[in-house]
Amino acid sequence: MKLRILAVGTKMPDWVETGVETYVKRMPRDCAIEFIEIAPGNRGKNADIARAMAQEGDRMLSHIRDSDHIVALDVKGRTWDTHKLSHELDGWRMQGGDVALLIGGPDGLDPRCLAKAHQRWSLSALTLPHPLVRIVLAEQLYRAWTLLVGHPYHR
């Protein structure tokens, strides 16, 4: 299984790349994390936000495979503690396919992406900057995996 994280935004600062890579490297091959950056929609002066979100949606949907289990990160999604995430990760592994985790742009995910999602997950009730979400998500996926395999990291 591969955990494919489709994230709107490109050219992340070095601290984000370093943070994400720390956890990506730790994951085993059978539960690898792959980040796919999606170019943001045009949000210049007087931009049409709905059009920008649709552009992001088009780009994101082009990376989603029919066999993917889709999890949308959405402020209105369900919150999971670490044990629940570990349980979900185990379930995704048992399904045998890849998982696409979707991180939207500054205005969230295109409605078509939300409609296609099998699950909606809220990382936090807090508003987090998108670069930080990448690190938190990678770390939590690693933590969930360590819980599954009995690794001491979670303690």
Which residues are annotated binding-site positions for S-adenosyl-L-methionine? 73, 104, 123-128
Cα-Cα-Cα-Cα dihedral sign, residues 133, 145, 79, 104:
positive
Show binding-site residues: 73, 104, 123-128
Query: Nearest CA to 22 among 38, 8, 35?
Result: 35
The partner residues of 122 in beta bridges, in order of sequence, read 79
Cα-Cα-Cα-Cα dihedral sign, residues 50, 56, 12, 132:
positive
124 vs 57: CA distance, rounded Å = 23
Measured CA distances, 143 to 82, 89, 137, 140 (Å): 8, 11, 10, 5
